[in-house]
Structure 1
Amino acid sequence: MRTWSLFLFLVGGSFSLLAQPATYLRADATRILNGEGEEVIFRGIGLGGWMLQEGYMLKTGGPQYKIERRIEDLVGAERKDRFYDAWLANHTQRADVEALAGWGFNLIRLPMHYKLFTPPIEEEPVAGEVTWRERGFELTDSLLAWCQDNGMYLILDLHAAPGGQGENADINDYDPTKPSLWESEANREKTIALWRRLAERYADEPAVAGYDIINEPNWGFQNHEEDPNGCAETENTILWELQRDITAAIREVDPNHIVIIEGNCWGNNYRGLPELWDDNLVVSFHKYWNPNDRASIQHMLDMREERQVPIWLGETGENSNTWFTDAISLFEENDFGWAWWPLKKLGYNNPLQIPLDPGYQDLIDYWRSPDEVARPDPDTAFAALMQFAENTKFENNIQHPSVVDAMIRQPHSDAAIPFAKHTLGGDTTTYLPLTDFDLGRAGIAYSDTEVDNTTTKAGGQAWNYGSAYRNDGVDIRPAQDERGNGYAVGWTEAGEWLQYTVEVATAGDYRVAIRAAATDPGAAVRLDVDGTTVTEAIPLPATGSGETWRTTPLGTVRLDPGTQVIRLHVATGGADLNWLSFERAR
């Protein structure tokens, strides 16, 4: 695991970026204010995958109820329950919250599965009654305590409502063989009762910023067959009525907390919204995979002014570091906060990555191709699942400093800073992994042909073809070679470059070499030091394959003591690049 620290870049201004949860927040016209009358801008993270599993985060696909069935089929009900106990205990702990606060976040959005708080209507002992399960409340209590200890706010978000609130089943655990939230009065009554119970429990907790009452409704009310996700809805009457009823139930026990509403079509269709029914509401929207320009948020800015209500970007992410920086710059320039998605998963484009153990990969392979892959025996499958749960712990996660830097520092700074410490000099040769280029925006720390996905599709433009190690536009792949760090820069194209801030301990002439692999001839690179070209374009030989590496001298370069900025330019693409070596000439 890479351990790292990040100097926080704090931005001055008339609003508070670092929350102090001592007083209740409130909506005041278009702003969210604390008890001192200061505007609060949320910088948040959603804990996706903890209370509610979404299949893509586990590389299984499908909603949680199907994941549970697959697990139970392999290991039995008792062992399945033990796995989920370990998952809930390990996935989010105090260490995660302490890290988030230390990195500069001031809010956590908690995606809740109702089944941790109350059973499905089909399992109620008496039809129509609502009973309670303590596990969800206990987990929420612990998380709230960690937030309080770290000066952070907490938003409660009902991510999976009773019955499921949308045809996009993976995100809300909707089972189409059972009545949805919108097809069952009992499910709606249970949802209202759950929010009343939550509000009653947390009414006196100012560290709770608010209640996000239904995450991403996506249901066609007027023409479900042709518009299953409600994007063409013009009225959304049932949605507004339910959110109004939930608000009324909350207000019976809690006059203090903000209530956050979401539109249809994954939180974005607000057609038919009546006059706002409470003076302490915030309107949320979600944004994924589209350009980060004012046009992409204009509809919500118009909503803010026309309705005189605060807006909040409640969920976004799943893109590149460049997209993250550009999005947050856009949001904060327009004075509204945000919450990223998610903190961790089996994937590299989030602050934390859960390692993929070979045993769990075997389970994935079996679930994907049960007719072609041997069925794991119960003991082996259970051991793999428990190791997977162990890997979700913060101390076992792979940390991605470039992601956090892109979210916290880069929206407010054009500077590049070192990704890792590189010191040149002395009597030994220094090997600089080329994947450890500086932290910073595209065009400042590196230049690459593709840097984000703005296609509006989750599976759109790939910004990192290797999907490994870092989330910048630079394409990185696993690579095995002597003195390497296990990764190499690949898919290189002419005009791309990488920057490295190094400390030169001893002035002198340095012999520089590059380690590269290329199937075909023609690739070439050159070096700059502090903006001055110091080598011509040096051809790199064909090595026959991408895993056959050869060291090529780039020449002798004079380096002065102190901080130096080195740029490696791709003059002609085609080679995979592993490391640079620096040896002081005697």
Structure 2
Amino acid sequence: MRAQDQFIVNEQGEKVLLRGMGLGGWMLQEGYMLKLGNLGQQHAMRAKIEELIGAEATQEFYNAWLANHTTKADIDAMAKWGFNSVRLPMHFNLYTLPIEQEPVKGQNTWLEQGFAMTDALIAWAKANNMYVILDLHAAPGGQGNDFAISDRNPNTPSLWQSEANQQKMIELWRKLAQRYANEPAVGAYDIINEPNWGFENADDKNGCKETKNEPLKKLMVDVTKAIRSVDTKHMIIIEGNCWGNNYAGVLPQWDNNMVLSFHKYWNNNTLDDIKSHLDLRAKYNMPIWLGESGENSNLWFTDAIALVESQGIGWAWWPLKKLGFNNPLEVKPNAGYLALVDYWNGKGEKPSAKDAKKALLQLANHDIRFENTQFHPEVIDAMFRQPYSKLNLPFKTHRISKTGGTITAVDYDMGRSGIAYHDKDSANYHISAGSERMPWNRGTTYRNEGVDIEFDPAKKSHFINHIEAGEWTEYTLEADQAGVYGLSAEVKATVATGRLGVSVNNELLAVDTAVAQSEKWQQVKLANVKLLQGTNKIRIYANAGGYHLLSLQLKK
């Protein structure tokens, strides 16, 4: 690929709209991805693991993690879902030693592990006609005051406080460019992820008020020269200060094959919200790319992707998988690991070294592998279909036989908010709103829409809770036989305020059923409904909230 005026094109000169995913958590762990947000950086987590199970077992864990987190199966699935690119967040310490560990000061010891992992990823992507974008996510010393994203240790010199760290970064990029100079499956070199540093004012910790960015520009220019000394073909992607968004003093570009990246999280999805980036594209006649975004609801994903694609801008979401629900793949950790998390978070007793090792190796050898993760089809649907469709599709097949059937309430349709469901809290806009982060799904489980979901261990089933007046969910079902069926709902409520309404095939019924106060699940008759043979749609309304909804039953 290459930059051609304001667009990215392939070797045939055809425009390429990148649709990608970042492999966060593979080469570089962040605490929140492992439910260890209080620890933050990878080196802090590693130290805690070593305290429990020793250095040898810790190395065994990390070897297993790197071998199993991302495999060919992950990349094959991404291609099947519709992705045409993958962004690889690299940790420098898999490619070269930290400056503090170099046997000869000023020299670079090259490590095969990182290069071999990169080679494997490129081969998997190439087999699927996908591009790999190399992204230096953890630079030598760390590139900012947001410590976790670059595994920065504040007790050692940062990237900006050490000429030796900067030289190591320059030489690492020279080495990478030399290795991949003639590899067309490598899409671009994203030379530094999310720098966030106040050069002019130390109190401006993340560089959002920086007006010159002189050290950042100098380093990116020096890296570019090193790359071009061995590779004149590949695109170079640059990121501004303030997590990739402050380009003051950085432009104009200094290379004719360069792309500007911006990152977008937790703000509104209007043209005004990306106007400053569009202005830079026009002013400097260069492509722009949404290099990182995500960590939000399906509604937000759909709106953000529709916005940038309407302007001919490609994107890379974040991340493919983690121990959490708002990504395509969710890692379901073993019980032993969750006990370990409780201990590290100050909520449980210290496990034995034997139990801790067993739990960690099960996480790394089993839980994180593609085939053992939970796939979220509604996330993929929100990213690829919903930006261009106002139709809803079944989340699961609901077949109603001649005698009836049961529908689990959380298995409502996939589709846009206002089409498949309506919930009053459907996305996180705290950056634009100037407020604290608010969960769009209070249970943070099972699905990634605004509909609030929790799990009932006794029922071994998820249910909808925190239901408010005006909210609703729609279900597509297939009836084997036309006829009249009795519709009831399985509900419970701690207060007697809930009231339910129903529509069938877009016809609102004269139903306003009260939900009695009860600590136990109870069946409430809603209406007799007429179903057509084949496809039908039933919508359940909260005329008044304050109840939980487990399932719907249809009986002949």
TM-score bin (small chain): over 0.9
Deviation string 1:182-212 (CA, Å, 9 cap, x unpaired) is 1111101100000011011111110110000
1:464: which partner in 2? 441
Q: Secondary structure at the match of 2:536?
A: strand
1:502 corresponds to 2:481: no
1:575 corresponds to 2:552: no
Runs of 4+ with >6 A deviation: none
Q: Secondary structure at the match of 1:253?
A: coil
Deviation string 1:308-330 (CA, Å, 9 cap, x unpaired) is 01000000001110000000000
2:357: which partner in 1? 382
Q: CA deviation at 1:528?
A: 0.7
1:448: which partner in 2? 423
1:401: which partner in 2? 377
Residue of 414, 420, 424 corresponding to 2:400: 424
1: CA distance, partners of 2:111 / 2:469: 59
Q: CA deviation at 1:426?
A: 2.5
* Superposition RMSD in Å: 1.2
1:221: which partner in 2? 199
1:137 corresponds to 2:115: yes
Q: CA deviation at 1:481?
A: 5.2
Q: CA deviation at 1:169?
A: 0.5
Q: Secondary structure at the match of 1:285?
A: strand
Mapped contact 1:114–1:161 kept (Cα < 8 A): yes
2: CA distance, partners of 1:164 / 1:382: 29
2:79: which partner in 1? 101
2: CA distance, partners of 1:462 / 1:373: 25
1: CA distance, partners of 2:458 / 2:480: 27
Q: Percent identity?
A: 50
Q: Secondary structure at the match of 1:441?
A: coil
Amino acid at match of 1:558: K
Q: CA deviation at 1:118?
A: 0.3
Q: CA deviation at 1:522?
A: 2.1
Q: Secondary structure at the match of 1:312?
A: strand
1: CA distance, partners of 2:436 / 2:55: 35
Q: 1:378 to 1:458 in 2, by over 3 A?
A: farther
2:5: which partner in 1? 29
1:89: which partner in 2? 67
TM-score, normalised by the number of residues in structure 2? 0.98
Mapped contact 1:535–1:554 kept (Cα < 8 A): no
Q: 1:536 to 1:120 in 2, by over 3 A?
A: same
Gaps of 5+ in 1: 1-24
Q: Secondary structure at the match of 2:495?
A: coil
1:49 corresponds to 2:25: yes
2:531: which partner in 1? 559
Q: Secondary structure at the match of 1:110?
A: strand
2: CA distance, partners of 1:304 / 1:197: 30
Mapped contact 1:481–1:549 kept (Cα < 8 A): no
Q: Secondary structure at the match of 2:484?
A: strand
Deviation string 1:455-508 (CA, Å, 9 cap, x unpaired) is 1179512211111110001111112455xx610010111111111111111111
2:304: which partner in 1? 327
1:491: which partner in 2? 466
Q: Secondary structure at the match of 2:430?
A: coil
2:172: which partner in 1? 194
Amino acid at match of 1:492: I
Deviation string 1:20-49 (CA, Å, 9 cap, x unpaired) is xxxxx1100101011111110111100000
Q: 1:140 to 1:295 in 2, by over 3 A?
A: same
Mapped contact 2:511–2:527 kept (Cα < 8 A): no
1:273: which partner in 2? 250
Alignment of 1:60-99 (within 5 A): 60-61=36-37, 62-99=40-77
1:113: which partner in 2? 91
Deviation string 1:100-138 (CA, Å, 9 cap, x unpaired) is 000011110000000000010011110110010000011
1:158 corresponds to 2:158: no
Deviation string 1:220-274 (CA, Å, 9 cap, x unpaired) is 11111x1111111110001000000101100111111000000001011100124
1:368: which partner in 2? 345
Residue of 526, 533, 544 corresponding to 2:501: 526
1:311 corresponds to 2:288: yes
Alignment of 1:149-188 (within 5 A): 149-188=127-166
1:435 corresponds to 2:410: yes
Mapped contact 2:480–2:534 kept (Cα < 8 A): yes
1:550 corresponds to 2:525: no
Q: CA deviation at 1:447?
A: 0.8
1:59 corresponds to 2:31: no
- 498-507 vs 109-118, greater mean Cα deviation: 498-507
2: CA distance, partners of 1:274 / 1:520: 60
Residue of 252, 256, 261 corresponding to 1:284: 261
1:349: which partner in 2? 326
Q: CA deviation at 1:535?
A: 4.7
1:476 corresponds to 2:453: yes
Mapped contact 1:435–1:578 kept (Cα < 8 A): yes
Q: CA deviation at 1:275?
A: 2.9
1: CA distance, partners of 2:384 / 2:436: 26
Q: Secondary structure at the match of 1:179?
A: coil
Amino acid at match of 2:66: L
Amino acid at match of 1:332: E
1: CA distance, partners of 2:457 / 2:50: 38
1: CA distance, partners of 2:524 / 2:350: 48
Q: Secondary structure at the match of 1:27?
A: strand
